[in-house]
Amino acid sequence: MTPLRFGIVAVLILTLAITVVAYPTLPDQVPSHWNAAGEVD
């Protein structure tokens, strides 16, 4: 395995691990848009 491929695989595994750990702490609904006043709409 080349160093580049190893680095890519390592980043993918790290991203997956962070997602698995952080997912339970996310709220049920995540805001996706804010208006000009900074309020979720």
Q: Residue 6: its pLDDT value, please? A: 98
The ranges of the chain with pLDDT < 70 are: none
- The residue range of the domain holding 14 is 1-25
Q: Residue 31: its pLDDT value, please? A: 86
What sign for the dihedral angle of Cα 11, 17, 22, 24?
A: positive
Residue 32 lies in a domain: no
Alpha-carbon distance of 13 to 24, in angstroms, equals 18
pTM value is: 0.64
Residue 13 lies in a domain: yes
Q: Helix, strand or coil for residue 30? A: coil
Residue 39 lies in a domain: no
Alpha-carbon distance of 14 to 17, in angstroms, equals 5
Q: Residue 19: its pLDDT value, please? A: 97
Residue 31 lies in a domain: no
Answer whether 41's CB lies under 8 Å from 33's CB: yes
Q: Give the pair of three-digit tokens for residue 10.
A: 């390592």
Q: How many CA atoms lie within 13 A of 27 on its CB side?
A: 4
Residue 5 lies in a domain: yes
The rounded mean pLDDT for the chain is 95
Residue 35 lies in a domain: no
How many domains does the chain contain in total?
1
